[in-house]
Amino acid sequence: MLGRGDSAQRFVVTFASGSFFRLLGVHPALGRFPDTSDAARTHDGAVLSFAAWQRLFGGSASVVGRSLRLGNGSYTIVGVAPSGFRGVDLTAVDAWLPVAAAVHERLSGMTNELDGSMWSVLTRLPRSASPARATSDLSAYFQHLYAARFGTRLEAVVVASLQSIIPGRAQEQTQGARVSLWLAGMSVVVLLIAAINLGNLILAHLAARNQGIAVCLAIGCSRIDIVMQVVCETIILVIGGTGAGLAIALCISGSVRAIVPELSGTGRLIDFRVVAWTTAMAAIAGLGAAILPAVRVARSDSVRQLRVRSSTSDGGRLGVRKGIVIAQIALAFSLTVAAGLFARSLHRIDSLDLGFRTNGILVGTLTGSQAPDREAEASSLLVGVLNRVDALPGVLSASLALTTPVDAGISWPFSVPDAVSPVGPAQRRLVRLNAVTPTYFATMGIHLLQGRSFLESDNVHTRPVAVINEAAARAFWPEGQALGKCIQLDASSAQASVEDACAEIVGVVANTRGLIRQGDPQLEYYAAFSQLNHFPVRASPIVIVRAKFEPEALVGPVRQAMQTIDSSSFATVRSLDEMLDPQRRPWRLGTAVFASLALCALALTGLGLYAVMAYGVVLRSRELGIRLAIGAPPASVLQSVVVRGLGTALWGASIGTPIALLLERVLRSVLFGVEGEDVPTLALATLVVLLISVVASYLPARRASRMDPRTVLQG
């Protein structure tokens, strides 16, 4: 939070050590970056992002040394990051603060406790280092830190995960990285289809100039001159097409940024490296499409071309062009199937049951608050805020919690003294913690399967109670006898005794999944919010609101009600759908871009098929004229041309089907809920290709059916 009171605004900060910028090889746009001497000083070493520097200070060079009022304190600005720098991901950041500031601020629930913080460690491995050895050393070091912090060894197996900071190079690529790589590959396929179409166009153009080229060769023109002329004409087309494509890219860049919000504020509309790469690819594709037809024409027999009519000598080339169109149809068919698979994946994701309600839910978080340190006073203040929010018009219900199923959450070791079945595998000996008020399950739409929810009478003076999820109940009490049993969280140093952490299970709720691709459900432990004195961790509570109507109308009133807890606080209110959006975004992006690529491919294929069918009608004009002259009805001529177009499309779809099936298998890692051959998608893609072929064939067929036999035969 930047500023205080009504003028406060949200300010995104990241905590970084003094070696962060040096490790990444980044140089400041202004001032300097923190070093190790700044690490121990809480209020020194703030680095502004380039965008925040421009927005708040107008790019003034005097910003270095000035104070920045953030959260609970004031920080000295020492430098400005270069334009476009966002750290190791695309998340928009306004400033970087020293790690020591996290202890003072306790922003977003972060504290100086190991159990309450979410940190990432960046390291540069020497070339000789083994990632497996580094992972083993880091894991052992974490066990050592845990033992030093809690006085006991962590029984669960915790393995450090070393991944490249570039998503596409990580051992386990993110869904977004995988989809982006596939989109890049499919864009190359569309470029290939465009190149094939261009080659077909050049062939048709050269066929129309056969007589002129033959005369030129006969009077002494070199064949190199013919090839260079065609190449120069193609270069002009490529330059014009690339320029038009760049203009279109600039026009739609706003739409792309709307789909991928992380791209906003990167400082560039389009990256010049991407422009250079695509221009080079377009040039290679264009020249490749031009050289082969040009060489073929240059090697033709000029004497033979002068003796025969073009219309009777080009039948062989028509077969070549038809083969080219069939290849286009096969590729476009495969892209259409891929777009359909992504659309089906997105539909399954949107209809996926996560175990909780997503629509109509708002989540409010409070930063910069100076709430009382005593738990009783802090709890009373939070309950007062909850009552104000609950009383707002349009609020159906409201509750307090420490986390939502969508958040990363807090995992904690636990034990079950009277479990019927032994504790499961080592990685399942961690339980996901949450502390909630009695209305939480109803607000979130999480179904109560057994027992009861929390009551107002569950407080610090009564025995600790807990609600677990179905996965935890089945793991330790397969017979369904979890109610009344005891579950113990491993005590931290803040707890007086382990016995205080033993809670009676009073209810079992349905499993939830905060990750779309989550496998087995996590073990979940819910504590009563009023019994936080038994909780082993500290975190900032959040307010969850279920709206009666449109939740967007409640964002302002809920924020205002939350900020009454402290004039120095700043409340951020977001919908749960918005919080889930980053997970859904790869499939939405994939569906949108694959559909766009498929439409481009189908349009290019349709134009190519139209050109071939129109040229075929010209070559068959005498044959069709004779048929009309001897009494053939025009409808039969129209039908014969359309049937030829359908036959070409069927050939393309037949060749494209095994390609699409292979593509479906390869794409399975980025799809969701698609298993086996998706026959409906294949059928729909076939129908689309056939419809395109009918439309592309109809115009030449209509022209053929209306030709005048006398004019054709006399010509």
Burial 284-321 (b: 16+ CB within 10 A, else e): ebbeebbbebbeebbebebeebeeeeeeebbeebbebb
Q: Residue 16: what pLDDT?
A: 83
pLDDT exceeds cutoff 50 at 498: no
How far is residue 638's CA from residue 699's CA, in Å, rounded to a whole number? Answer: 9
Mean pLDDT of all residues in 352-380? 72
Q: Say if strands 570-575 and 361-367 run parallel, antiparallel, or are unpaired.
A: antiparallel
Q: Using CA of residue 299, residue 303, residue 304, residue 310, what is the dihedral sign?
A: positive
Q: Which of 87, 191, 181, 281 is nearest to 589 (CA)?
A: 181
Q: Which of 688, 410, 440 is nearest to 537 (CA)?
A: 410
Q: Residue 150: what pLDDT?
A: 61
Q: Judge whether 73 and 104 are in contact, CB under 8 Å.
A: yes
Continuous H helices in 117-162:
131-150
pLDDT exceeds cutoff 70 at 267: no
Mean pLDDT of all residues in 336-363? 88
Helix axis angle for 375-390 and 555-562, nearest 10°, is 150
- DSSP annotation of 546 reads E
Average pLDDT, the chain: 77
Beta bridge partners of 524: 432
How far is residue 284's CA from residue 593's CA, in Å, rounded to a whole number? Answer: 23
pLDDT exceeds cutoff 90 at 709: no
Q: To which residue do tokens 């083993």 refer?
A: 136
Burial 192-229 (b: 16+ CB within 10 A, else e): bbbbbbbbbbbbbebbebbeebbebbeeeeebeebbee
How far is residue 372's CA from residue 424's CA, in Å, rounded to a whole number? Answer: 40
Higher pLDDT, 461 or 125: 461
Q: Residue 163: what pLDDT?
A: 62
In the chain, % of residues over pLDDT 70: 74
Residues 6+ apart with CB under 8 A from 311: 618, 619, 621
Reported as a single tens digit per residue, the pLDDT across 150-166 is 666 655 445 556 666 55
pLDDT exceeds cutoff 70 at 216: yes
HSE-CB of 384 using CA atoms within 13 angstroms: 11
State the DSSP H helix or E strand holding residue 89, giving kind and residue range, or none if neither. Answer: none
How far is residue 177's CA from residue 84's CA, in Å, rounded to a whole number? Answer: 20
Of 402-416, 423-437, 668-682, 692-706, give the lowest mean pLDDT range: 423-437
pLDDT exceeds cutoff 70 at 270: no
Q: Residue 333: what pLDDT?
A: 92
Q: Residue 345: what pLDDT?
A: 87
Question: Model confidence at 211, in pLDDT bands (50, 70, 90)?
Answer: low
Q: Residue 687: what pLDDT?
A: 94
Q: Residue 422: what pLDDT?
A: 54
Q: Residue 526: what pLDDT?
A: 93
Of 227-231, 263-267, 593-597, 651-655, give the lowest mean pLDDT range: 263-267
How far is residue 91's CA from residue 261's CA, in Å, rounded to a whole number? Answer: 9
Q: Residue 115: what pLDDT?
A: 40
DSSP 457-493: T-STTS--EEEEEHHHHHHH-TTS--TT-EEEEPP-T
Of 159-168, 231-240, 254-263, give the lowest mean pLDDT range: 159-168
Residues 6+ apart with CB under 8 A from 364: 389, 542, 543, 544, 545, 558, 559, 562, 571, 572, 573
Q: Judge whether 629 and 307 are in contact, CB under 8 Å.
A: no
Most confident of 243-252, 267-276, 524-533: 524-533
The three-state secondary structure class of 412 is strand
Q: Residue type for 648, please?
A: T
Q: Which of 694, 695, 661, 690 is nearest to 678 (CA)?
A: 661
Question: Model confidence at 441, in pLDDT bands (50, 70, 90)?
Answer: very high
- DSSP annotation of 495 reads S
Q: Using CA of residue 316, residue 320, residue 325, residue 326, what is the dihedral sign?
A: positive
User: What's the maximum distance between 2 C-alpha atoms anywhere in the chain?
Assistant: 109
pLDDT exceeds cutoff 50 at 109: no
Beta bridge partners of 98: 16
Q: Residue 84: what pLDDT?
A: 79
Question: Model confidence at 347, in pLDDT bands (50, 70, 90)?
Answer: confident
DSSP 638-672: HHHHHHHHHHHHHHHHHHHHHHHHHHHHHHGGG-S
pLDDT exceeds cutoff 80 at 470: yes
Backbone φ and ψ of 410, nearest 5°: -125, 125
Q: Residue 518: what pLDDT?
A: 63
Q: Nearest 5°: CA angle at 578, between 574 and 580?
A: 125
Reported as a single tens digit per residue, the pLDDT across 27-65 is 899 988 887 665 555 566 789 988 889 888 888 888 888
Q: What is the 3-state secondary structure (H, E, C) of 672-712?
A: CCCCCCCHHHHHHHHHHHHHHHHHHHHHHHHHHHCCCHHHH
Q: Residue 256: what pLDDT?
A: 66
pLDDT exceeds cutoff 50 at 26: yes
Q: Residue 113: what pLDDT?
A: 37
| Token couple for 399 | 């509750």
Mean pLDDT of all residues in 139-156? 68
Of 15-19, 225-229, 535-539, 677-681, give the lowest mean pLDDT range: 535-539
Q: Residue 611: what pLDDT?
A: 81
| Token couple for 75 | 């920080």
570 in the Ramachandran plot: left (φ > 0), alpha (ψ -120 to 50) or beta?
Answer: beta
**126 exposed, middle or buried (CB, 10 Å; 0-12, 13-18, 19+)?**
exposed
Reported as a single tens digit per residue, the pLDDT across 506-550 is 999 999 987 766 667 888 999 998 887 666 666 678 899 999 888
DSSP 258-274: HHSGGGTTSS-SS-HHH
Q: Judge whether 549 and 458 are in contact, CB under 8 Å.
A: no
Higher pLDDT, 472 or 146: 472
In the chain, % of residues over pLDDT 90: 10
Q: Residue 96: what pLDDT?
A: 87
Question: Could you tell me the pTM of the whole model?
Answer: 0.70
Most confident of 39-53, 436-450, 570-584: 436-450
- Total length of the chain: 715
Q: Residue 302: what pLDDT?
A: 54
